[in-house]
């Protein structure tokens, strides 16, 4: 395998890895953002025990469906793919 082929393989693999990783983590980031917006409802550990996060997840799914967990995922995946590819290729 030539150096150019190795570079191309590394770039393709790292782009795919970055894209998949961001796509998988994006719903968790979305939930985190919604929890931060609802910070007034979450003041202490007791609120977590009362299921505030579960309530936020349920309301998101009820009001927006599965798409509610993936707002802006396209641009986020694109950015991660480019960044991950650049990082892993120059590592």
Per-residue pLDDT of the chain (91 residues; tens, 9 = 90+): 898 898 899 999 999 999 999 999 999 999 989 888 876 655 665 666 667 788 889 999 999 999 999 999 999 999 999 999 999 888 7
For residue 72, give the 3-state DSSP assignment.
coil
CA distance 88 to 10: 7
The answer to whether the pTM exceeds 0.85 is: no
Nearest by Cα to 17 from 82, 73, 71, 75: 82
Nearest by Cα to 87 from 17, 14, 25: 14
CA distance 67 to 22: 15
With contact defined as beta carbons under 8 Å apart, do 18 and 80 qualify?
A: yes
């Amino acid at each position: 395998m030539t150096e150019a082929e190795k570079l191309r393989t590394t770039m393709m693999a790292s782009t795919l890895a970055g894209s998949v990783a961001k796509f998988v983590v994006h719903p968790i980031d979305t939930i985190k953002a919604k929890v931060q917006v609802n910070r007034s409802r979450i003041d202490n550990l007791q609120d977590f025990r009362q299921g505030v996060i579960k309530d936020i997840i349920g309301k998101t799914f009820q009001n927006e469906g599965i798409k509610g967990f993936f707002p802006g995922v396209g641009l986020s995946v694109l950015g991660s793919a480019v960044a991950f590819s650049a990082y892993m290729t120059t590592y």
